[in-house]
Amino acid sequence: MAKKTQMVVGTWGIRSSVHSLIGLLLTLLIITAVYLTQDSTGRPSEDRTCSGDDSLSHCNLFSGKWVFDNQTYPLYKENQCTFMSDQLACGKFGRKDLSYQNWRWQPHQCNLPRFNATALLERLRNKRLVFVGDSLNRGQWVSMVCLVDSSIPPTLKSMNGNGSLVSFKAIEYNASIEFYWAPLLVESNSDHPVNHRLPDRIVRVKAIEKHARHWTDADILVFDSYLWWRRPQMNVLWGSFESPHDAIYKKVEMLRVYEMAMRTWSDWLEVHVNRTKTQLFFVSMSPTHERGKDWGGGENCYTETELVSREGYWGSDSDPKMMRVVETVLDELKTRGVNVQMLNITQLSEYRKEGHPSIYRKQWERLTEDQISDPSNYADCIHWCLPGVPDVWNEFLYAYIVHQ
């Protein structure tokens, strides 16, 4: 009996030792896993990028903070981008403080996947990526072209324009990255790609086919429409621009017209988009910084070199009501089987009052003596310098195209 008891106790001791060893190994594995998911700053490491099949849905890319990073940003050099726009090349036109190029967006829950031009081009092989909208969308298009430009040999890329449609082609991949000018999405008297600055803006809220036929077969569509709507009322046309004598014009409150136009756009998507292959995105409104009193600064963004530091800052030029119209339309589309991903760039871009060209861009018209004597009155506080803020918008787009 004593021997049997000793055997049982001995066996129990061995089992306890094995269990202790297993427990120790599990503890070490957990500690190692936690350590590996941290980088030297305590942020999630690259293993925590939003790159799994469903990880994007568990990571809010748009909630985070700007982090100064002059080691890995900018993602390209302004003077090395073959197709840089003079409207956005702030360094070329005399800006000395270039720190606006060195800010990286850090989501709270994970890291943005590092932009890889080759991976994107491979995903775009035999496809069309088309940006549709206004000059802010065009700036994002220029940014995307610059992001992939250096990865393509000079003889294997081209740029061609045909009216409102401009196309960058990566020949080896048979991939195109295009921009189509349609600042109000629906037809308007501002549709000419060059001569569109008219004092009296008119829209045909029920007409979109004239534009849409140019991007019907696109594989990825990125829309925006905000800047050109910023006025209390819009002239709405029932009829045709080609038959002005039979047309009916009426002034309508802007938000109502905007909603009608967005529903025309959404109805077109529901009918024409191939839901099995086409990816759809809508970029939320890009904030302007034309009122320095919003952040306790000067007249506007002129001479600004620092970010807005107040968390949750929201400028008076951004219209939450317009944003809610877009959100409602996208939610309704989803119930009809059409998924449009919102790229919610508004809040994170609100902080970047120093990221605009200000006076450091090509001036398309000769400056007046009054403007020369007071530079702040012609400062561009609407568009964005490149490299800069729109590159981050494209990092979001890259995450959804390549890692979703």
* Residue 380 appears among annotated catalytic residues: yes
* Residue 19 appears among annotated catalytic residues: no
The DSSP secondary structure of 9-36, one letter per residue, reads HHHHHHHHHHHHHHHHHHHHHHHHHHHH
Q: E-assigned strands of 137-245?
A: 157-162, 165-170, 175-181, 187-188, 202-204, 220-223, 233-238
DSSP state of 117: H
* Strand (E) or helix (H) holding 103: strand 103-107
Tokens of 216: 């019907």
44: Cα separation from own chain's centroid: 23
Residues 6 or more apart whose CB falls under 8 angstroms from that of 57 comprise none
Tokens of 392: 């981050």
Angle at 197 between CA 195 and CA 202, to 5 degrees: 105
Greatest pairwise CA separation for the chain in angstroms: 114
Residue of 228, 132, 223, 214 lying closest to 181 (CA atoms): 132
- Angle in degrees, 0-180, between the axes of helices 254-272 and 320-335, rounded to the nearest 10: 30
Catalytic residue selected from 85, 135, 164, 176: 135
* Residue 243 appears among annotated catalytic residues: no
Catalytic residue selected from 134, 149, 380, 391: 380
Q: E-assigned strands of 220-339?
A: 220-223, 233-238, 248-253, 279-283
Q: Which residues are catalytic?
A: 135, 380, 383
